[in-house]
């Protein structure tokens, strides 16, 4: 009985070793090499809107950190999004004016 248990254990160990040897050995990439633009709500709760919208040095630091968190090397550009960049930007004739939504931020990452 002990030999049977030992033999089953041995086959299990050999089988596990063989299964590890046939795993693919491909490299993984963090992000594609191209550029990607992200739209971020200005009221995201972190208070980064002032830095990014003013295009100051703290905006560059925040934008670079955002891009690194998304798997890119750096931020190519950042700032307030133009009206054409986000959905619902077409103006329509309205009978009663509605409150204008807060303009989102845009960060373009690359590298």
* pLDDT tens-digit map of 36-79: 998 888 887 777 788 888 878 889 999 999 899 999 999 999 99
Q: Which of residues 96 and 27 earns the better pLDDT score?
A: 27
pLDDT at 31: 47
pLDDT at 43: 81
Percent of the chain with pLDDT over 90: 18
pLDDT at 74: 92
**Residues whose CB falls within 8 Å of the CB of residue 67, separated by 6 or more in sequence, listed in order:** 73, 74, 75, 107, 109, 110
For the whole model, what pTM was predicted?
0.58
Buried b (16+ CB within 10 A) or exposed e, 18-41: eeeeeeeeeeeeeeeeeeeebebe
| Highest mean pLDDT, choosing among 63-72, 86-95, 102-111 | 63-72
pLDDT at 75: 92
Instruction: Band the pLDDT of 26: cuts 50, 70, 90.
Output: low
């Amino acid at each position: 009985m002990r030999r049977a248990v030992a033999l089953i254990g041995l086959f299990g160990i050999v089988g596990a070793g063989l299964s590890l040897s046939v795993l693919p050995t491909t490299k993984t990439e963090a992000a594609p090499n191209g550029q990607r633009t992200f739209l971020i709500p200005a009221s995201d709760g972190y208070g980064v809107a002032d830095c990014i919208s003013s295009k100051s040095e703290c905006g560059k630091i925040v934008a670079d950190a955002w891009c690194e968190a998304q798997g890119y090397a750096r931020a190519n550009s950042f700032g307030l999004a133009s009206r054409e960049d986000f959905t619902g930007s077409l103006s329509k004739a309205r009978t009663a004016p509605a409150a204008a939504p807060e303009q989102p931020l845009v960060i373009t990452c690359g590298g």
